[in-house]
Each structure stands twice: as structure tokens, then as C-alpha cells.
Structure 1
């Protein structure tokens, strides 16, 4: 099993939305990938609630059956679209 964890800090505003709205959108986009990628066992997104200056805003946690499944995820069109969207949000 492969575990893949990513942390993001988001801009205060992007795409006309505030940080929390974009965090919610990001979570929806992340969770929508679950049924689309073979070998993706689990995918979650969580938000920071501490408000600490050094904290990240959103965390992605995912589990894959093996390296090939992680690779399929990394090149999947939905994942690439999220990366493109994030370029404006981070």
C-alpha cells in the first residue's frame, strides 16, 4: 500500500471566492476522483481549524494499492485539472 499526503496553503481570494469557499471546492474535486481511478483505495481532504499562522489550509490523504495506481492517479485528467485549478488558488 502507498500513502500519499499533500498539504496546501490557499490564497485569501481566487476565482472571486474566499479561502474557505475554494477549500470546499477543492475538497469536492478531490473526493470526486475516488470512483474514477483504479487502485485508489481511499481519498480524503481536511481543513485546518486551528487558525495558526504556520498551518496549512487543506490536507489531502490518499491510499493506493501500489505505485502503478499512484501513477495512474498522477496522470489522470481529473488530477491534472485540479493541479491547474490550484495554480490560481495557492
Structure 2
């Protein structure tokens, strides 16, 4: 089983929207991937509820049966489209992938 974790710090404003608006849209778009990609076993997106002392605004946890499924997810056109859009609204991105 592969666990894929990604955390993002978003820009205060981007593409004419506030950080909160972009975070909500990002959550919706990422969660929509589970309906499109059967390789995803589970996908959860969390938005930070406390910003005063926190470094990141949004986190993705997704789970895959194998590395092959994970790579299929990474290369899917819808995932790539979301990734290209996220690049325009983020300041930082950190990721960890591990097998368990």
C-alpha cells in the first residue's frame, strides 16, 4: 500500500480569488479525482482550521494499492490539469510518499 501526502501553503490571492476561496476550490477539485480514478483507494483533503501559527493551508492524503496505481494517478490528464492549476496558487509544496 502506498500513502501519498502533500501539503501546500497558498498565496494570499491568486487568479482573482482569496486564499480561502482557492483552498475550497482546490479541496473540491482534488476530492473529485476519487470519482474519476479507480486507482485511488481513499483520498482525503483537509483545510487548515488555524492559521496564526501554522505553515500550511491544505493537505492531501491519498492511498494506492501499488506504485503502478500511484504512477497511473500521477500521469492521469485530470490530475496533471489540477497540478498545473495548483502551481499558480501555491507558494510552497511538500510531499512524502511511503509504502506500508
- The TM-score, its normalising length taken from structure 1, stands at 0.94
Give the CA RMSD over aligned residues.
1.1
Say whether 1:72 aligns with 2:72: yes
> In the aligned structure 1, how far is the partner of 2:24 from the partner of 2:50?
17
Per the alignment, residue 13 of structure 1 pairs with 13
Name the SS of the counterpart of 1:9 in structure 2.
strand
Structure 1, unaligned runs of 5 or more: none
Q: Which has the higher contact order (CA 8 A, sep 6+)?
A: 2
Point out the structure with the larger strand share.
2
Superposed, which structure 2 residues align to 1:29-40 within 5 Å? 29-40=29-40
Per the alignment, residue 58 of structure 2 pairs with 58
